[in-house]
Structure 1
């Protein structure tokens, strides 16, 4: 009986995803109930992930089609396909991704920042399959609802385990902003190694961030907040922003108010702990 009910729910999800469009052709925003997923995923598990060998082999064109520039490949290329003088077409990006929302959840931050940063490419990186699909469908729907003004063309979401593969996606000093919003607190001491902030991971953030770039953190768990502050302040590549600088940064307010978790904490009258850290210039080589 339970198995039959489960199959029915699964069938409903499949039917919904294949036909959630309105009669006028504009996509409807997806509904979360059709994208059921556990709240957390083990970052140490061997998930079935596709990731580039290096940033140079990462094809961003499928995620940001409005920022693709077609180029004609030379017919003098050594491949057999081109030896007869046939010209092939390759795609290159007119902009590079500059902002990463690590553990983007259901995409609230991406959607809120998109119109505020229209000339910047933002990417959400999420390890959970169904949640990633929800954000991708949400972005497609928003693009279809705003075809004339071109809004939401500058945001995208992909499935990734950033604890393992962050440098596979981004070159050194590529990013100007990294958001770590309401990450899994991993309360048990034996689980602290799975926290998204650590000495090793902070070095990876420093590698992909340009000098002057900002790492934004927010959580409703004070112990995790103290953990993140302690580890970033101990890292030689970062310094903490003052409260005045945080208050003046529009992204901090968006992070507090527009993420799904932030809204939930507000409804529950909970506390939000924020801290931002600036990427410092590397010291000169001796």
Structure 2
């Protein structure tokens, strides 16, 4: 089975996350049939641990899949044609490489609205926000995928010590995300020194189509990585 061609799945880059899209979602994470996304995973207790929010054409998922074969990974994408492409790409890779890429899948949904419907408290170990839509106009800043309300929701589904990776080529958006993470009591910045030993970091720059486009245009990339700290540690941080 040949890999799908992106030219047949192109869709405008921007989508209004506030609009009422038609999505199906479970009332509780246990109500969702995860075997439909990971048909070869026989362990019913196995849960998604890596989440790529706004996964685009799935470059990061495909890159990380062989690096972390024991971790289930899920990409979320709101655009229907793009999510169709990722789904077809994964199906083709599974056929081309038997016993590989079984741990990755894509789900079309709105991450700003339905995450608690799909994920348990403290479930995720890693979240990724790679080149998110900057929504340049001030009136549309409320559409940005990082804000103080959404960070609290992300903190709910993240395990203690889980890591959140962000990268963008838009300095204003980078500053916005950093400010919101720094102001939130449940996140702390991971130092550049510590990031040197993280094998994922180098993959954030070039694994996605957007990252490759920034490189071709000689653009700058801004990275910020945060750790979800425990509620107890957050209280101490707040009191200081």
For 2:75, what is the secondary structure of its paired residue? Answer: strand
* 245-254 or 27-36: bigger deviation: 245-254
- Aligned equivalents of 2:42, 2:80: Cα separation in 1: 26
Match of 1:33 in 2: 7
- Aligned equivalents of 1:279, 1:53: Cα separation in 2: 26
- Over the aligned positions, Cα root-mean-square deviation in angstroms equals 1.1
**Structure 1 contact 67–94 (Cα < 8 Å) conserved:** no
* Count of residues paired in the alignment: 234
Match of 1:204 in 2: 153
- Aligned equivalents of 1:191, 1:101: Cα separation in 2: 22
Match of 2:191 in 1: 242
Q: Cα deviations across residues 193-244 of structure 1 (Å, max 9, x unaligned)?
A: 0000000000011000000000000000000000000000100000000011
Q: Pick from 108, 122, 142 the counterpart of residue 73 of structure 2.
A: 122
Q: Cα deviations across residues 24-44 of structure 1 (Å, max 9, x unaligned)?
A: xxx100001111211111001
CA shift, 1:283, in A, is 1.5
CA shift, 1:94, in A, is 4.3
Q: Pick from 57, 60, 65 the counterpart of residue 34 of structure 2.
A: 60
Higher RCO (Cα < 8 Å, 6 or more apart):
2
- Aligned equivalents of 1:37, 1:182: Cα separation in 2: 16
- Aligned equivalents of 2:40, 2:225: Cα separation in 1: 31
Match of 1:103 in 2: 54
- Aligned equivalents of 1:272, 1:39: Cα separation in 2: 19
Q: Pick from 134, 138, 141 the counterpart of residue 85 of structure 2.
A: 134
- Aligned equivalents of 1:193, 1:252: Cα separation in 2: 28
- Aligned equivalents of 1:117, 1:110: Cα separation in 2: 10
- Aligned equivalents of 2:197, 2:214: Cα separation in 1: 22
CA shift, 1:110, in A, is 0.2
Q: In terms of Rg, which structure is larger?
A: 1
For 2:113, what is the secondary structure of its paired residue? Answer: helix
For 1:66, what is the secondary structure of its paired residue? Answer: coil
Runs of 4+ displaced beyond 4 Å: none
For 1:252, what is the secondary structure of its paired residue? Answer: coil
- Aligned equivalents of 1:166, 1:140: Cα separation in 2: 24
Is 2:21 the counterpart of 1:42?
A: no
Q: Pick from 258, 279, 286 the counterpart of residue 207 of structure 2.
A: 258
- Aligned equivalents of 1:41, 1:100: Cα separation in 2: 20
Is 2:95 the counterpart of 1:144?
A: yes
